Structure 1
Amino acid sequence: MPDNPQTQQEQEQPQKEQPRRRQARGERRIAQLLEAAAQVFCTTGYTAASTNAIAREAGVSPGTLYQFFPNKEAIAIELGDRLIHEMRETYGTALAPVAPATPLEEAIGAAVDRFMAFNTEHPVFFALMHGADVPGRMTEAHDQLHATLIGRIEGLLASLMPGAAPADITRTAHVRFGIYKSGLELVLASEGAERTAYVQEVKDVLVRYLDPLTGDRPGRR
């Protein structure tokens, strides 16, 4: 007698669900380890961090950690890749060219707010990407991200500085990014009202730097 199709389906269903459950548990464990690594990297820096410290922060044994990552560098690379992907989504909207009539304070403020929100939510991004000990192949990813960010800043500045020479826009983009990065260190080192005040200072410095360069444009204060 042929097998009952319904019975076969009932037998196969648990077999299909088990790999999915194992995969879901694995993803949760990876997320747990990455969150712990982010905390350790922020606290001690990448060089001083260890897999034992990450496992301890995650509340698991080192053996459990090694089931998912062979070493500290692999953890940092996975964490960095995820953050870079999210960062690309952030700057895609934060640094879009603006309409000529957009006030300078509004254009700068919107971009700074988005970047500050990302970096304060993920302080490990700064620790990994701007530290002196960027691990392994993350150096190349960091350089690519930096070049792309400068290009997007140039696009934003071109909309704010119509008629400016390309070399001037590029130079201004590098200076602007340097100002922002320096201010970000102060922002990440503070909390509460003090952090808010530093964010506003960064905006004010950028506006004062760019205001004389934007010329007689609509929306200029």
Structure 2
Amino acid sequence: MPGTPKRLRPRKSPRQKRSAQTREQILEAAARVFVEHGHAAGTTNRIAEAAGLSIGSLYQYFPNKDAILLELARRHVDHGRRLAEAAVRRGLPAAWDERATVLVDVALGAHDGDPRLHQVLFEESPRPPALLAELRALQDSLVGLVAGLLREDGTVRVPDPDLTAWFLVAAAESLTHRYLADRPTADTEAFRRELTGLLTRLVHPAPAG
């Protein structure tokens, strides 16, 4: 992608089935290694060993471990984008509390992999400007979508739909990330209900008293 430093660009774009399989093998092995060892100790030697490849074979596809991490992070971003697009294609419910549930489910679905891997990708590893731009573009598109829904909903009265939409998207993403990292409860359904209630109250506050 334009803007990605050369040192973080993959070295080979697979054109044959075997090359594509090898690339997937490397990425799957890397995910396991980063989950077990973290960013600092997740070396290319460990990744190559986990993938059953020589270090030279790995370097034919990726120049270093951060290039592998970047590819894994981009896949996470694409996964979240596809989930949001699929939710829109299916058609959104009319009631806002049900729409809030959809937003929570998209956030949970985007984090449905190993939370430790997500932590390595977005807390421990370097994030180049190109990846930050992709993350911002995804957030902006979601905020724009939610702001449009707020404006179209005749039951919603918020002074600034764009700001409220930002709060909704940021809360869904940030709290889901923290929940899966901290696991204050093993009951994911309880978290889902609490977060849905919070997002609903941002739009429909409880009456005073």
Q: TM-score, normalised by structure 2?
A: 0.72
The reply to whether residue 91 of structure 1 matches residue 84 of structure 2 is yes
Unpaired runs of 5+ in structure 1? 1-21, 216-221
Other-structure match for 1:171: 163
C-alpha contact 1:69 1:75 (8 A) present in aligned 2: yes
The reply to whether residue 76 of structure 1 matches residue 64 of structure 2 is no
Distance 1:60 1:33 in 2: 8
Q: 1:57 aligns with which of 50, 57, 76?
A: 50
Q: 2:139 aligns with which of 146, 153, 177?
A: 146
**Match for 2:198: what amino acid?**
V
Q: 1:206 aligns with which of 181, 191, 199?
A: 199
Taking a change above 3 Å as real, the CA distance of residues 142 and 46 of structure 1, as seen in their structure-2 partners, is: farther
**Pairwise CA RMSD:** 3.2
Distance 2:146 2:50 in 1: 38
Structure with max Cα Rg:
1
CA deviation string 1:78-105 (max 9, x = no partner): 2233333332221123367846xx2222
C-alpha contact 2:34 2:42 (8 A) present in aligned 1: yes
Unpaired runs of 5+ in structure 2? 1-14
C-alpha contact 1:187 1:198 (8 A) present in aligned 2: no
Taking a change above 3 Å as real, the CA distance of residues 147 and 208 of structure 1, as seen in their structure-2 partners, is: same
Q: 1:135 aligns with which of 127, 142, 155?
A: 127
Q: 1:109 aligns with which of 86, 101, 108?
A: 101
C-alpha contact 2:29 2:47 (8 A) present in aligned 1: yes
Taking a change above 3 Å as real, the CA distance of residues 171 and 191 of structure 1, as seen in their structure-2 partners, is: closer
- The 3-state SS of whatever aligns with 2:53 is coil
Distance 1:202 1:91 in 2: 18
Q: How many residue pairs are counted as aligned between the two chains?
A: 188
Percent identity, please. Answer: 30
**Match for 2:86: what amino acid?**
T
C-alpha contact 1:150 1:173 (8 A) present in aligned 2: yes
Other-structure match for 1:41: 34
CA deviation string 1:31-71 (max 9, x = no partner): 12112222333444445532123223323332221121111
Q: TM-score, normalised by structure 1?
A: 0.69
Taking a change above 3 Å as real, the CA distance of residues 132 and 156 of structure 1, as seen in their structure-2 partners, is: farther
Taking a change above 3 Å as real, the CA distance of residues 156 and 33 of structure 1, as seen in their structure-2 partners, is: farther
1:27 deviates by 0.9
C-alpha contact 2:66 2:126 (8 A) present in aligned 1: no
